[in-house]
Amino acid sequence: MLHATYHQFGNPAEVITLENTPQATLADGEIHVRILAAPINPADINFIQGTYGIRPELPCTPGIEGCGEIIESRAENFHPGDKVVFLDRANTWAEEVICSAETALKIPSATPVEQAAMLKVNPVTAWAMLTSFENLPKGSWIIQNAANSGVGVCVIQIAKLLGLRTINLVRREELIPELLDLGSDIVLLDNAESITHLKETLNNELPTLALNAVGGDSALRLMDALAPKGIHVTYGAMSMRSLKAPNKFLIFKNIQLHGFWCTEWMKEKTNTEIETVFQQLAQWMITDGLHQNIDSRFKLTAIKSAVIRAQETRRNGKVLITTNAAPE
């Protein structure tokens, strides 16, 4: 089976190689899956660089998430032709994988393959942050930075489906129309003037939940925009700058600071709870058009070009690895 792999940590374009290994024998409880599509996430790049929160054993085939079709099964309730996504890191940068059925989840056959391949990380992160920290009444405001990111666009769409209103901060003015078309209620440039204007406009309806993917000054602007006792959740650090909370936000506004890591969130949930979330998100992909933009598609044989593109700025969406079996 053809798969990408790396034997040492480093620059993905330099350490990634393609290898062919003999197909393993399927054991009881396992499924043999043809990978249809798999995205390149920032966490995948960090895994290869050796800078992620955990380090895999080497050699390693990358791939946190993906969508595939079962070729062969020795697991109850899993059958050839079933469409699946993966709950654990399944090494999906490959033509085929063999894994325990316990680490896979069947999804409706009508789920768009490429969107299903991106279901596990960004949509689940967005849904969990919107629902885990506070029971927000319909009509509540939330605010986020990096609103054009993969998680950001999922937050906008899922919040709308949950009856919530979003304030979305971006760095470039040309991003505003696209996010408004996506369903944003307010889109502003991420600067101090925007926060001042927002506070004057909303007055007593300030957001009670802020989602921070940037850190640094942008994170402080989210705190400034929050209502008293608001919840500030950090799930990323795009600016590579630490979050230093001014005393006034903690003392006089009683802001609550939280961190979020989807991997740990999933560990704390039962299989039934996780399956319920995945099935809801898949259904929204089918019926309500929940989606993430796709910047480009690369065959597995062009993996070096794919990881180079995935690290470039000004992309409009995710880079996908596809196979000949994937639908156009």
- Residues classed as catalytic: 52
Bridge partners (DSSP) listed for residue 142: 166, 209
- Cβ atoms 158, 149 nearer than 8 A: no
Contact 136, 208 (CB under 8 A): yes
In whole angstroms, give the CA distance from residue 236 to residue 177: 24
Distance CA 185, CA 88 (A): 34
| SS3 category, 272 | helix
191: tokens are 């600067």
Taking CA atoms, 119 is separated from 53, 57, 134, 174, in Å, by 21, 25, 23, 27
- The two tokens of residue 238 are 């795009």
> Are the beta carbons of 32 and 52 closer than 8 angstroms?
no
Residue 16 Cα to chain centre, angstroms = 23
Write the DSSP symbol of residue 269. S
Answer yes or no: are the C-beta atoms of 241 and 213 closer than 8 Å: no
Task: Please check whether residue 33 is in contact with residue 23, taking contact to mean a CB–CB distance below 8 angstroms.
Answer: no
